[in-house]
């Protein structure tokens, strides 16, 4: 029952719905007690040969009216009770989704996508069932049971009632044992379902790579292994679940046997009438539902407890990046970067002794060998990662002074591996500005040098992009992502090796467009292709997480360090490629 206490916030929120459902169920429990009493009276009247046709018609009419009333009331409680449980599912999914959007990228590196999907689907559904079917089993089962027992004790025979209930304590013991076992088995089944989600998600995402390497048989074997695990876990749940009904049926059968035997004894000794035993038997039949409800309730509660524990684990994880800022967007976003050192959790220092200032309207180039810390530096600048010795200021104020949504509007980010949604090309470009006109969308695409490519598609800007942009080339994906960022007209544009998949000529055209279109706005260009930063106001070279060189393109060439050597090498490489073509 502890899991229901954890949902007290929702029961308080929806107390009106639950109150209506509770009162309706109580009315149904009382009304359903009348037909057995009326039937008992008819049986006794028949046995005593005093039943008149008018009395029979009256009793039958009363039973019909009661049935209609119960029908209407059942419709009412279903609408209110299940309506409340559906809202709980909606609220939990909204909370989980909102919470996940506040988590830093590091959280998703530690938690697999399939597992998170399982928590938002299967686990939420199990909690929804607990708030609907579970409450029904608990309230209606308890109400019906109490009302039936009260009628049996006070209107028929308390001795016969006690005799009929002798098997119940034994049933309660076994139900408790089943509940503990079911909780563990269901938790395992949910974890296996998460593994299945992970396997499907990874296989579908990487299907091109799997087919390219001819690993279909291996992928199928791995999938079969996971599905076997899921089947075994679900079968373990089913084995325990299957014990509930036989236990209840055995209890019911024993109760009926004791009731009939004891009732016959008391009828023979004139302590009970045939009509009273008939009514008692009908009342005992009404106890079948409370007994089933008891087993059903334990089943649902254990499933719900395991599921809510997984949901609570996500909601109880505080975001690594706090979002308590209050400052508004700055007018002139000067960027100051001071990092004494920064390390990933549990790892060695990645960045050391970095001090950079990016004035409004300036372009900063960030270059260096693979593994130098360039992407980590960008993550720190964007406040996707934080460190006590990493202080980044925007317009003289720490990044923490701004809301994360405010910061997101200041930075337009184009990653090396862009993510495109399964919507049209136009919708992908206008993601941050859904109200943009087609002229604005085409203008952004033209700046990114992708307008001609799009116009060549059969459906143009209405072309549907496959999942993760699978229908487009790598260069087209990068340029679409660039157009999407340009649509926002951000004060600071961050290109994280965002032109690596385009040829040199296209890169030069794009950079020329950016210089004209973004006068007065700042740019941060991270790249391995040094020709992309030759016009930057300042270029820094990162090696081993430290700034080893800094200056303009000309100054770095004169310095004769890593930048000069790599630039000459790339120039030779481009010349040779040009000779080949």
Same fold, 2-315 and 335-417+493-580: no
- Tens-place pLDDT, residues 38-74: 776 776 676 666 766 777 777 778 778 888 888 888 8
- Tens-place pLDDT, residues 153-195: 777 777 877 787 788 788 777 777 777 777 778 778 877 877 8
Express as a percent the part of the chain with pLDDT over 90. 16
> Is 29 exposed, middle or buried (CB count within 10 Å of its CB: 0-12, 13-18, 19+)?
buried
Q: What is the structure's pLDDT at 578?
A: 60
Above 70 in pLDDT, residue 468? no
**How far is 336 from 326, CA to CA, in rounded Å?**
19
**How far is 319 from 101, CA to CA, in rounded Å?**
10
Above 50 in pLDDT, residue 580? no
User: CATH code for 335-417+493-580?
Assistant: 3.40.50.300
Span 388-407, mean pLDDT?
89
Q: Which two tokens stand for residue 224?
A: 């079969």
Please give the helix or strand (H or E) that residue 421 lies within, else none. Answer: none
Span 460-485, mean pLDDT?
82
The domain ranges of the chain are 2-315, 335-417+493-580
Please count the residues of the chain: 581
Span 19-36, mean pLDDT?
81
Confidence of residue 494 (pLDDT cuts 50, 70, 90): very high
Q: Which two tokens stand for residue 159?
A: 């001795």
Start-to-end Cα distance in the chain: 74
Residue 93: partners with Cβ closer than 8 Å, 6 or more residues away: 120, 124
- Planar angle of CA 285, 287, 289, nearest 5 degrees: 95
Say if strands 397-398 and 546-551 run parallel, antiparallel, or are unpaired.
unpaired
Q: What is the structure's pLDDT at 47?
A: 67
Q: What is the structure's pLDDT at 581?
A: 37
Q: What is the structure's pLDDT at 348?
A: 83
Q: What is the structure's pLDDT at 105?
A: 78
- Tens-place pLDDT, residues 509-555: 999 998 888 888 899 999 988 988 988 999 999 998 999 999 999 99
> Is 301 exposed, middle or buried (CB count within 10 Å of its CB: 0-12, 13-18, 19+)?
buried
Please give the helix or strand (H or E) that residue 467 lies within, else none. Answer: none
Q: Which two tokens stand for residue 61?
A: 């009419």
Q: Any bridge partners for residue 349, and if so which?
A: 343
Q: What is the structure's pLDDT at 51?
A: 67
Say if strands 363-367 and 538-543 run parallel, antiparallel, or are unpaired.
parallel
Above 70 in pLDDT, residue 140? yes
Q: Which two tokens stand for residue 65?
A: 């009216």
Give me the architecture of the 2-315 domain, per CATH: Up-down Bundle (1.20)
Span 144-157, mean pLDDT?
74
- Tens-place pLDDT, residues 218-267: 778 887 888 888 888 888 888 887 887 788 778 878 877 887 888 788 87
Bigger pLDDT: 579 vs 456: 456
Above 70 in pLDDT, residue 208? no
Express as a percent the part of the chain with pLDDT over 70. 93
Q: Which two tokens stand for residue 37?
A: 């009493």
Q: Which two tokens stand for residue 93?
A: 């999914």
Mean residue pLDDT across the chain: 83
Q: Any bridge partners for residue 552, and if so which?
A: none
- Planar angle of CA 186, 191, 195, nearest 5 degrees: 140
CB atoms within 10 A of CB 287: 23
Above 70 in pLDDT, residue 305? yes
């Amino acid at each position: 029952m502890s899991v229901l206490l954890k949902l007290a916030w929702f029961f308080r929120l929806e107390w009106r719905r639950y109150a209506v459902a509770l009162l309706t169920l109580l009315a149904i429990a009382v009304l359903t007690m009348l037909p057995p009493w009326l039937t008992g009276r008819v049986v006794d009247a028949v046995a005593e040969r005093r039943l008149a046709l008018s009395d029979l018609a009256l009793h039958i009419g009363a039973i019909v009216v009661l049935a209609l009333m119960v029908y209407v009331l059942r419709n009412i409680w279903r609408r209110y009770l299940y309506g409340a449980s559906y809202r709980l599912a909606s609220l939990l999914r909204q909370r989980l989704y909102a919470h996940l959007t506040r988590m830093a990228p590091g959280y998703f590196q530690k938690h697999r996508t399939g597992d998170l999907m399982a928590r938002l689907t299967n686990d939420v559904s199990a909690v929804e069932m607990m708030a609907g079917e579970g409450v029904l089993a608990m309230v209606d089962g308890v109400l019906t049971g109490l009302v039936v027992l009260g009628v049996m004790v006070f209107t028929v025979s308390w001795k016969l009632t006690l005799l009929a209930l002798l098997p119940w304590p034994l049933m309660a013991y076994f139900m408790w044992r089943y509940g503990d076992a079911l909780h563990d088995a269901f938790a395992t089944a949910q974890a296996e379902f998460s593994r299945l989600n992970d396997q499907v998600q990874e296989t579908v995402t990487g299907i091109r790579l799997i087919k390219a390497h001819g690993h279909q048989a291996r992928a199928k074997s791995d999938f079969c292994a996971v599905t076997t695990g899921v089947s075994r876990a679900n079968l373990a749940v089913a084995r325990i679940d299957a014990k509930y009904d036989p236990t209840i049926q055995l209890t019911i059968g024993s109760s009926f046997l004791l009731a009939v035997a004891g009732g016959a004894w008391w009828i023979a000794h004139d302590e009970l009438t045939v009509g009273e035993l008939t009514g008692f038997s009908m009342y005992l039949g009404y106890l079948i539902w409370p007994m089933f409800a008891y087993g059903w309730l334990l089943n649902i509660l254990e499933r719900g407890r395991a599921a809510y524990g997984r949901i609570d684990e996500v909601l109880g994880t505080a975001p690594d990046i706090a979002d308590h800022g209050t400052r508004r967007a700055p007018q002139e976003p000067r960027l100051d970067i001071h990092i004494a050192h920064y390390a990933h959790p549990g790892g060695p220092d990645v960045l050391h002794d970095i001090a950079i200032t990016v004035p409004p309207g300036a372009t900063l180039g960030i270059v260096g060998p693979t593994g130098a810390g360039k992407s980590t530096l960008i993550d720190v600048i964007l406040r996707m990662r934080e460190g006590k010795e990493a202080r980044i200021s925007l317009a003289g104020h720490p990044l923490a002074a701004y809301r994360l949504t405010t910061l997101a509007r200041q930075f337009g980010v184009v990653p090396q591996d862009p993510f495109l949604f399964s919507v049209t090309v136009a919708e992908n470009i206008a993601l941050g500005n859904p109200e943009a006109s087609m002229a604005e969308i085409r203008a952004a695409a033209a700046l990114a040098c992708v307008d001609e490519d799009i116009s060549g598609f059969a459906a143009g800007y209405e072309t549907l992009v496959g999942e993760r942009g699978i229908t487009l080339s790598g260069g087209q994906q990068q340029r679409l992502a660039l157009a999407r960022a340009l649509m926002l007209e951000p004060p600071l544009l961050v290109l994280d090796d965002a032109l690596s998949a385009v040829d040199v000529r296209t890169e030069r055209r794009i950079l020329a467009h950016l210089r004209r279109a973004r006068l007065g706005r700042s740019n941060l260009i991270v790249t391995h292709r040094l020709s992309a930063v030759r016009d930057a106001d300042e270029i820094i070279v990162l090696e081993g997480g430290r700034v080893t060189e800094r200056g303009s393109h000309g100054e770095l060439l004169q310095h004769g360090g890593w930048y000069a050597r790599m630039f000459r090498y790339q120039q030779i490489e481009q010349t040779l490629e040009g000779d080949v073509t």
